[in-house]
């Protein structure tokens, strides 16, 4: 498996991010064009509106299909990383750390985690800044 680092840690799922996204956007655009043409001709307005509503439902479903699993994973990561921090330091994470910071800290090695978590809480580092400061990257190949 390829070594993971800041430059390549983002995961793209081609079937979801390229194929399904293209189909959902094409459906929405086609439905809008269909409604506009129906309004101009005065025919099939109700069916064109129904098609647009279905396309809008596809867009909402597409978004929720991504958000829900990521939220669950974020909660699991928060629990796992809090346990890892507790094992390493004997203390839970600083309560000032945001979920985004904790999710970013999962990439830090055991040696870096305690110090980097303290700096992140004290300085209010963004998740991107946290990832950039990691010297010894701990890969996460399980993220959806």
Predicted confidence band at 45 (pLDDT cuts at 50, 70, 90)? very high
Encode pLDDT of 58-100 as tens digits: 999 999 999 999 999 999 999 999 999 999 999 999 999 999 9
As a whole number, the mean pLDDT across the chain is 92
pTM exceeding the 0.85 threshold for the entire prediction: no
Measured in degrees and rounded to the nearest 5, phi and psi for residue 108 equal: -75, 140
Concatenating the DSSP letter of every residue in 85-134 gives HHHHHSSPPPTT--HHHHHHHTTB-TTTHHHHHHHHHHHT--HHHHHHH-
Calculate what percentage of the chain has a pLDDT beyond 90: 82
Q: What does DSSP assign to residue 75?
A: H
- d(Cα 131, Cα 101) in Å, to the nearest integer? 9
- d(Cα 137, Cα 130) in Å, to the nearest integer? 11
């Amino acid at each position: 498996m390829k070594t993971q680092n800041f430059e390549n840690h983002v995961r793209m799922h081609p079937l979801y991010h390229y194929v399904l996204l293209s189909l959902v956007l094409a459906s929405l655009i086609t439905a809008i064009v269909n409604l506009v043409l129906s309004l101009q001709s005065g025919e099939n307005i109700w069916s064109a509106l129904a098609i647009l509503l279905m396309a809008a439902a596809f867009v909402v479903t597409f978004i929720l299909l991504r958000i829900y699993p990521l939220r669950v994973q974020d909660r699991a990561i928060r629990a796992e990383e809090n346990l890892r921090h507790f094992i390493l330091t004997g203390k839970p994470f600083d309560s000032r750390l945001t979920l985004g910071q904790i999710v970013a800290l999962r990439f830090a090695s055991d040696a870096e985690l305690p110090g980097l978590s303290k700096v992140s809480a004290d300085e209010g580092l963004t998740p991107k800044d946290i990832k950039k400061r990691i010297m010894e990257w701990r890969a996460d190949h399980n993220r959806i």
